[in-house]
Structure 1
Amino acid sequence: MVVAAGLVLGLGATGASADQTRDDQWPLIKYSAAQDVWPVSKGQGVTVGLIDSGVSATHQDLVGQVLPGTDLSGASSDGRVDDLGHGTEMASLIAGHGHGPGQGDGVKGLAPAAKILPVRVTTSLRGDLAQGETRLADAIRYAVDHGAKVVNMSLAGASGRDSSLREAVRYAVDHDVVLVAGAGNGGAARVAYPAAFPGVVAVGAVQEDGSVWSGSNHGPEVTITAPGVRIVAAGKDGPAKYRIGDGTSEATAYVSAIAALVRAKYPDLSAGQVINRLIKSAVAPPDGSKAPNDRYGYGIASPRHALTDDIPAGPTANPLLQRAESQQDPSPQQSAAAAGGGAQTPAPGSGGDSAQAPKASADGSGVSMGLLLGIGAAVVVLVVVVVLVARSRRRGGPGGPGPGGGQPPAQPPYPGPGQQYGSPQFGAPQYGAPQSGPPPQPGPPPQYGPPPQGYGPGGQQPNPYQQPNPYPQQNPYPQ
């Protein structure tokens, strides 16, 4: 099956110099990585499969971190090239080691001792794959067969109806691999595939204050959230270039890094038990909402709690295999609309490019498959409306008893009924810091721009990241 609108990644804006980069990595500060995380685990001995646009292995913050992989994009490489930059960004957030004296400059990943196995699946901004989703399925199997214990998929837009892709996901689950994917960047009430497949950790994005990013797709499949706004990462345009971006791609990379940290610290845990730790150690939503819910899942991922909390291992099986899919065998159009972006912007992302025009039919009539599918969908909708109205009249009112009623299935309590999950309430300056007193009240989103003291010496200076995004944030796939 060919992807209806192509798998989508995302790109952020360029800018910034390395000597300012480390201080601008607010997730490392929130997570208190240097004090509370890296003394416990740095992800050593764990390989993270990165299914993306490749990785620029010569970036100063990634030298030595990227293993030879493969290229399924139709190009000839071992995956250690990146024309888009998206894969390089994700790799740096997972396993970047920085550079300079004490490696204190540049981008440092949350699991800086992990290794990256690049599996390149696209080279174009549109993200179209030469052989459709079969390439993504092949990519998953390749990563599993070549030693990846965690697989990062910062992409979206696959079809839930692709049996080969569904089988590849199950292949990874059966081979004890943690699969992590972005929920999508359209801000839609629908989690994109592959994140929506049972067994996959579906990741949403939060801002610095812990509130859910407005562009983060949501739905009952969301498992967990992580930092995904104004994320500084390595760039593709040279060994000392950096970028900044928003999206569930970045959040996905951070969750993959946390999974790598846990797998290094607890090598005897199964992939399902690692996911169980991610769920039960998540920080409670800062808005006071009850978890799990459609926006936060089980809360904000916390590396410190995942590594140090006293959490029973639990069953070895993947707890997400029992998660219901709210989309109920979506059509290709629905899959494309759900994509919105696995990361930041255009079609690798959630905006910028326009969808390709429908192609004419083979007989030259000019009737496109998209039009035929649209007409078919309209007929189906009409029939469903008639049936629902008739059923409503028979039952004496709208909705009626029994399943349906227009509500998606409730997210199952996959940690198990009666079990505790969620760490202490979100608090500053850390995600998961011990709390005292009443829980903090959510405030307005932070205003970004130059901090009062300015950037670097010389007092007030312009924010090097305050630049126009060259990739407009708009969804090319109409809802």
Structure 2
Amino acid sequence: MVKQCIRTAGMMLFIFILNACSLGEPDQVGQEPAEKPTETREWVVKWNGEPDPAFLETVDVLRKNDEDQTMLVKVHEDVDQEKWRAEWLLHDQVEYIQPNFQYKLNNETVDERGEAPSAAAKEPSPDYFLRQTSAVEAWDVWKPKKEVVIAVIDTGVDLDHPLIAPHIVNPMNIAYPGEGAEDITVEDIQRPEERGKTAEEIDAMYAESGVYNDYEERLGAVGHGTGVVGVLLQMLGLVDGENPVESTETTAKIMPIKVMGYHDGEKKGGSDFDMSEAIRMAVNRGADIISLSLGDWAYSKNARDAVEYAEESGVLVVAAAGNRQGATNEPIFYPAAFPTVLAVGGVTADGVFDVYSNHGTGLDLVAPDEHIWTTGNRDGERFRLVDGNSFSTPQVTAVAAMVMQQHPTMSPAQVRNLLRQTADTDVHGWNEQTGYGRVNAFRALTEAPQPDIYEENETQDTAARVSINARAEAVLNRPDDEDWFVFDVPNLSDALDFHVKVRLEMPRSLESGVEVRIKQPGKETFVTYTLERSDEVLLTLRPGETYVNVRFHESEPSRFLAYALETEVLMSPDLYEDNDQQWHAHELDLDEATLVEGTFHTEGDDDWYRLRTPEGGNLYVDVSAASPRTDLVLFVQQLGGSGVLVDENGPTGREQLQIRAEAGGIYYVRVSDLNMHPTVGKYDLAVHYEPLVNDVSEPNDRSDQARHLSHPSTPVESSLHSAADYDWYQLTVPRESDVTVRIDGLEEAVRAEVTVYDEERMALERREIAPGDKSLSWTETLPEGRYYIRVRRLSGEQATPYTITYFLE
């Protein structure tokens, strides 16, 4: 995956303007409450049958899969998307409606790691990753019996690259149907105005225009798939230095499927629908393994169905855990986080956990992800040095391919277990930074598969650590055999509990069954369940280590049982449930500040809160999530009125709103998750209310409401109510004069800004008042005309009184 800063583009779904709402835009023109135009989102819809004709009248169908009965649609601009989704989710034939998430490439930029790849203290040899994964050693003992086809779902590949071309079969292009699967080039990502310029000239062009410069982000996609394929071929011994290796009947073949592209700098593809369709297409066209170096934190039912289809069809899916986005490197991305996907993280050239690689629940294996020498397609290059989780993933994919070539009858589950069993690690079982360890090709080809990779785990002290929300396959191989496992329930808050499902899958029913004994955190006793067939138990647990003991019931005659243990951790209902509907809204006592810790514990969980403002004032609402799997949506509505719905930021962002509240007003606040999937994590809702300080100048939040300063040398008392409050004034200069503007009486801790505009609202002068200065005065020669002054605070929360005066000389 591409480890680079992704600028998450948030969007406002709908905004209904309240009569009592002031958003503080300096130049907003007054208008009646009305629905504003919104950006329309793409949605993935799955039907259980034929689509309803009434549904089709509300959308444009962009693409569809008749076999899987999924379609990609865009809602008509005149349709309220929130109401549309809520209505059609209730339809008997609709299985799900979800956003068409955008997946990320995760190769790493120089800015993120803080140094160029070649600037490391000791740069490793170009083939170091082949040795660290024991691929070189494995080639001497590898005995491939058949070819395998590896589908690489990515940005395409350089089909003319001499090292790659001999091994390509059946290339496909989903991003641009009907075109070839050629990789993204520099020319593709450049906008017309960027052509012919150097990177430095492009930077200067954007700096001068003040437009956000995403050129480096686009450049990160160039040759991505080519680099991934190059790593695969090196691991498989299909590159001899700088010389190609001939393809034979028993060598691996590469099936490139292009799901992301650019044209004139505009991106196309790279979405959940594209990736899921590519997985199904790869399976249907004969792939044995699918390698994915892209993903996202958001849970997708469409992707879930696609990887389950691959597993049922005997196709192994390997996916990147993802790379750190900003300061967040946990949890791992989907589709890697699905239980049947082999999830790959990263280690450095020194073999230690790479903090730039995502880690946590569901991680399986790691491989080197920095200083990777691979094939390139940029500016005529044949090789380049790359970093990122994108390039550890094909290393694991290659080892899986070697195993499948040597053991053609192995199932995907058996291959996953063998790679986990033979990985290099210092711990017994699993850990959140490196999973089961660093992949080892030599051991994978030379060690016999073990039916139970968690042995020796016959006591609580030797319990094998496993991941939550994952699947462990084990064996009871004698009547007195016991298997012990331990997993961690995360600690998010003292006020939150967890629901934990422990499921045991058995191939047959038993006479007396097995005992599943569970030791909860902080308790010395066990809860015991006897299961005679595949079943699950549900417990409410506190955070901490949870032990699970599996053993035969004392009267069970069986002597051998292969089983699978699955754990799933969900949030328990929070303290404010049941508040899923507006008429069940939880009443909040509105002090100066109120903090709520909430959870989304079920699919489609909406949390409603109700509050009353005793007098007129400013109401601030701020909500943030602990997990990037949650994409928050905030809605605030006054009783009897319309409301404001905010979805401006992506999963790692917070949603905020400030409104002017009425005296005795009743307001509803709704917090929801756009993904509508239960998440291990909490959200923090902060509500702050601040009564208004008497300000005779209000309302003057916009330039069209500016208070007229009619008398020079006469102070006007005013107040800044909040960080979102703007105070506008206008004055008339009868002839060219020296005009002095003076601000007095600000509180010591406040930093403020004063700006003078001409009649066309063009800024003429801007000054700041530093904390502790309390006042500001400056003089400017102005010609005859009308002028505007805007005062706003840059720091602090409380209402701040001040006086404004102007003088003519």
TM-score by length of 2: 0.38
Corresponding position: 1:7 with 2:148: no
Deviations 1:392-429 (A, max 9, x none): xxxxxxxxxxxxxxxxxxxxxxxxxxxxxxxxxxxxxx
- 1:284 deviation in Å? 1.1
What is the distance in 2 between the residues matched to 1:10 and 1:257?
Answer: 19
**Equivalent residue in structure 2 for 1:147, among 280, 286, 289:** 286
Q: Is the 8 A contact 1:93 1:254 kept in 2?
A: yes
Helix, strand or coil at the partner of 2:261? coil
Q: Is the 8 A contact 1:221 1:324 kept in 2?
A: no
- 1:236 deviation in Å? 1.4
Helix, strand or coil at the partner of 2:370? coil
Quick one: which amino acid aligns to residue 170 of structure 2? P
Other-structure match for 1:177: 315
Other-structure match for 2:89: none
Corresponding position: 1:374 with 2:374: no
Quick one: which amino acid aligns to residue 683 of structure 2? V
Q: 1:324 to 1:184 in 2, by over 3 A?
A: farther
User: Where do 1:63-102 residues align within 5 Å?
Assistant: 63-74=165-176, 76-83=178-185, 84-96=222-234
- 1:106 deviation in Å? 6.2
Deviations 1:259-285 (A, max 9, x none): 000000000111111111101111114
Other-structure match for 2:256: 118
Corresponding position: 1:213 with 2:349: no
User: Where do 1:187-336 residues align within 5 Å?
Assistant: 188-237=329-378, 240-285=381-426, 289-312=427-450, 324=567
Q: Is the 8 A contact 2:117 2:386 kept in 1?
A: no
- 1:131 deviation in Å? 8.1
Q: 1:278 to 1:127 in 2, by over 3 A?
A: farther
- 1:94 deviation in Å? 0.8
Q: Is the 8 A contact 1:233 1:244 kept in 2?
A: yes
Helix, strand or coil at the partner of 2:280? helix
Q: 1:204 to 1:115 in 2, by over 3 A?
A: same
Quick one: which amino acid aligns to residue 369 of structure 1? D
Q: Is the 8 A contact 1:43 1:113 kept in 2?
A: no
Helix, strand or coil at the partner of 1:249? helix
Other-structure match for 2:53: none
What is the distance in 1 between the residues matched to 2:322 and 2:647?
Answer: 25
TM-score by length of 1: 0.62
What is the distance in 1 between the residues matched to 2:257 and 2:158?
Answer: 12
For structure 2, list consecutive stretches of 5 or more residues without a partner in the other structure: 1-97, 111-115, 186-221, 454-470, 474-563, 572-601, 605-623, 631-642, 657-669, 674-681, 688-809
- 1:234 deviation in Å? 0.4
- 1:33 deviation in Å? 3.1
Helix, strand or coil at the partner of 2:105? coil
- 1:65 deviation in Å? 1.0
- 1:7 deviation in Å? 3.1
What is the distance in 1 between the residues matched to 2:349 and 2:145?
Answer: 24
Other-structure match for 1:432: none
Corresponding position: 1:29 with 2:131: yes
What is the distance in 2 between the residues matched to 1:147 and 1:335?
Answer: 41
Q: 1:254 to 1:131 in 2, by over 3 A?
A: closer
Other-structure match for 1:422: none
Corresponding position: 1:138 with 2:277: yes
Quick one: which amino acid aligns to residue 145 of structure 1? N
- 1:124 deviation in Å? 4.2
Other-structure match for 1:398: none
Q: Is the 8 A contact 1:97 1:107 kept in 2?
A: no
Quick one: which amino acid aligns to residue 285 of structure 2? H
Helix, strand or coil at the partner of 2:346? strand
What is the distance in 1 between the residues matched to 2:146 and 2:686?
Answer: 54
**Equivalent residue in structure 2 for 1:46, among 144, 148, 170:** 148
Helix, strand or coil at the partner of 2:283? helix
The CA RMSD measured in Å over matched residues stands at 4.4
Deviations 1:178-225 (A, max 9, x none): 111111111512111111112111111011221011101111211111
RCO (CA 8 Å, sep 6+): is it higher in 1 or 2?
1
Quick one: which amino acid aligns to residue 88 of structure 1? T
Helix, strand or coil at the partner of 1:55? coil
User: Where do 1:457-468 residues align within 5 Å?
Assistant: none
What is the distance in 1 between the residues matched to 2:292 and 2:672?
Answer: 33
Quick one: which amino acid aligns to residue 119 of structure 1? I
For structure 1, list consecutive stretches of 5 or more residues without a partner in the other structure: 340-364, 386-479
Other-structure match for 1:415: none
Deviations 1:410-453 (A, max 9, x none): xxxxxxxxxxxxxxxxxxxxxxxxxxxxxxxxxxxxxxxxxxxx
Other-structure match for 1:474: none
What is the distance in 2 between the residues matched to 1:117 and 1:183?
Answer: 22
What is the distance in 1 between the residues matched to 2:428 and 2:236?
Answer: 38
What is the distance in 2 between the residues matched to 1:201 and 1:275?
Answer: 7
Quick one: which amino acid aligns to residue 140 of structure 1? I
Corresponding position: 1:104 with 2:385: no
Quick one: which amino acid aligns to residue 647 of structure 2? M
Q: 1:32 to 1:382 in 2, by over 3 A?
A: closer
Other-structure match for 2:161: 59
Asked which structure has the greater CA Rg, the reply is 2
The structure carrying a bigger helix percent of its residues is 1
What is the distance in 2 between the residues matched to 1:310 and 1:60?
Answer: 37
What is the distance in 1 between the residues matched to 2:251 and 2:266?
Answer: 30
Q: Is the 8 A contact 1:2 1:131 kept in 2?
A: no
Q: 1:140 to 1:99 in 2, by over 3 A?
A: closer
The structure carrying a bigger strand percent of its residues is 2
What is the distance in 2 between the residues matched to 1:154 and 1:27?
Answer: 17
What is the distance in 1 between the residues matched to 2:99 and 2:267?
Answer: 9
Identity of aligned residues (%): 25
Quick one: which amino acid aligns to residue 329 of structure 2? A
- 1:165 deviation in Å? 1.4
Quick one: which amino acid aligns to residue 104 of structure 1? G
Helix, strand or coil at the partner of 1:166? helix
